[in-house]
Structure 1
Amino acid sequence: MPRYTIEEFIENTSQKDLGQGKFELERERMLEVNLDGKVWTKRGTMVAYLGNVRFTREGVLEHGLGKFVKEAFTGEGLSLTKAEGTGKVYLADSGKKISIINLDNDSIYVNGNDLLAFEESINWDIKLMRKMAGVMSGGLFNIKLEGKGMIAITTHYDPLTLKVTGNTPVYTDPNATVAWSGNLKPDIKTDISLKTFMGRSSGESIQMAFKGEGFVVIQPYEEIAFVTNTS
């Protein structure tokens, strides 16, 4: 384990301006937001800030009645905090690795648990996977983000992106699926025989099926979710 003097420790661990824009990776598990206006963040992820910054919990009807109803249905999976002002805000989520994606009139779906922050310029909506409702109570909803601006997502360990083509569909464990391109609409595929053999539902017996042209982001970790019997 490295040993430092106080001066060496400060030099090695001090904050550094990287000039990357509004969102910067201060560390691979720490996001720095160079705030001059407003951003939306996952509630409970602020670990420090500098400057004149105000944090406001998302209003009940701030994003309209439709989103309010969806948020009420999905529970605490998407709880947002609005950060406003001028300064620097540092975000982290349970030590998960952070990736910054710059949307340029693109769209992407992100699992509700894995969205860390996004710029005010990004349009977003909650999308419910009704086919999933009878299968699992976790990972039921995701967020569609589109427009121009930065978003930050989190993964347990390093993410892996798989290309989906017309000749190569991709099947993933719902609990390990982080994000996918906005043009894809996954179906749910179940393997009843394998489920029966194993005696319980799992990623092997319940999969998300991606077909068409696009990409899927997975992580080497299964988010905790409760699975119900669908037989």
Structure 2
Amino acid sequence: MTTDAPLIFDATTLPSNDNVNPYAFSVDLNGQWFLQKGKMIAYYGQIDFQGVGHGRLDRLIASSFHSPLHAADWVVAEGHGKLLLADRAFDVNSYDLDDGNLTVRSGNLLAFEPSLSLKQSIIPGFLTLIGTGKFVAASNGEVHFVEPPVRVDPQALVGWADCPSPCHHYDHEYLKGVMGGIRAMTGMGGASGEEHQFEFVGAGTVLVQSTEVLMAERDTGAVPQQAGVPGGGPGGHGGQGGHGGQQSPQLPGQLGSLQRRFGL
């Protein structure tokens, strides 16, 4: 009985700005890219990683990054080589914008070219890319493209392009009776797509993932809590401090994790 040998890549055989498989993407870096922390799994070549806000990158930040709430979640990769991007074995794909605009869930966006300008969406938990260039995003399952008018389960929504921002839609039966009264008093409820949807109208494209389950939440760039990983658990030595490891101070850019966790 024979088994297929694993496919082994090197710097010359990795794809150029294309998927290695459904779960990893290879960026042919020749200059600069913005990366969300924790999404680079390997690289070849001479590449440096600088935090957003470093002095010598001020001009790049001023032209391409306009989301202070998420600044602590991102770095700039600079140099020449091949970058391998992935996110916990979720589906990964690249998309091209041609003088367009696309709003995407902030936790799903892995990387983008500096020719695109990133802005903070008025919808909590989403970011907007404007201009011409390539970006890489992850999803929990395959992404489907649909045209408005359409109503989408909030947990299945990945983003939307070249169309107005959505509004909330609550089914009439859900607003009546006991549950309607509870929601009126507390503002809670409406988590299910059968009760609450995002409604899109006008021209454009909506990106929907093939599951109603959001990508599993994890602090951006966090060290896995596992033995043997420096700073990651029993036996680790990563400066977490005693008493089971103290939490590090919360940075402003990490406030978006609350919004992403609840799919807002």
Distance in 1, matches of 2:90 and 2:157, equals: 15
Distance in 2, matches of 1:128 and 1:185, equals: 9
For 1:128, give the aligned amino acid. I
Please, which runs of 5 or more residues in structure 1 have no aligned partner? 130-139
1:218-229 alignment to 2 at 5 Å?
218-221=208-211, 222-223=213-214, 225-226=261-262
SS in 2 for 1:146: strand
1:70-149 alignment to 2 at 5 Å?
70-71=69-70, 79-129=73-123, 140-149=124-133
For 1:125, give the aligned amino acid. K
Q: Max radius of gyration: which structure? A: 2
Q: Which residue in 1 is equivalent to 2:9?
A: 14
Q: Which residue in 1 is equivalent to 2:238?
A: none
How much has 1:41 moved relative to structure 2? 1.0
Distance in 1, matches of 2:172 and 2:19, equals: 43
Q: Do 1:46 and 1:90's aligned partners in 2 also have CA atoms closer than 8 Å?
A: yes
Q: Which residue in 2 is equivalent to 1:45?
A: 39
SS in 2 for 1:212: coil
SS in 2 for 1:128: coil
Judging changes above 3 Å, is the alpha-carbon distance between structure 1 residues 71 and 128 closer, same or farther for their aligned structure 2 residues? farther
TM-score by length of 2: 0.67
Distance in 2, matches of 1:25 and 1:161, equals: 19
Counterpart pick for 1:201 among 190, 194, 202: 190
TM-score by length of 1: 0.76
Q: Do 2:143 and 2:210's aligned partners in 1 also have CA atoms closer than 8 Å?
A: yes
1:53-68 alignment to 2 at 5 Å?
53-59=47-53, 63=61, 67-68=67-68
Q: Do 1:108 and 1:182's aligned partners in 2 also have CA atoms closer than 8 Å?
A: yes
For 2:70, give the aligned amino acid. E
For 2:105, give the aligned amino acid. N
| Ranges of 4+ aligned residues in structure 1 off by more than 3 Å | 60-66, 224-228
SS in 2 for 1:194: helix
For 2:194, give the aligned amino acid. E
Please, which runs of 5 or more residues in structure 2 have no aligned partner? 183-188, 217-260
Distance in 2, matches of 1:226 and 1:105, equals: 31
- Give 1 or 2: higher strand fraction: 1
Equivalenced residues, count? 199
Q: Do 2:162 and 2:205's aligned partners in 1 also have CA atoms closer than 8 Å?
A: no
Q: Which residue in 1 is equivalent to 2:137?
A: 153
Distance in 2, matches of 1:163 and 1:95, equals: 28
Q: Percent identity?
A: 25
Distance in 2, matches of 1:147 and 1:173, equals: 28
Q: Do 1:144 and 1:182's aligned partners in 2 also have CA atoms closer than 8 Å?
A: no
SS in 1 for 2:262: coil
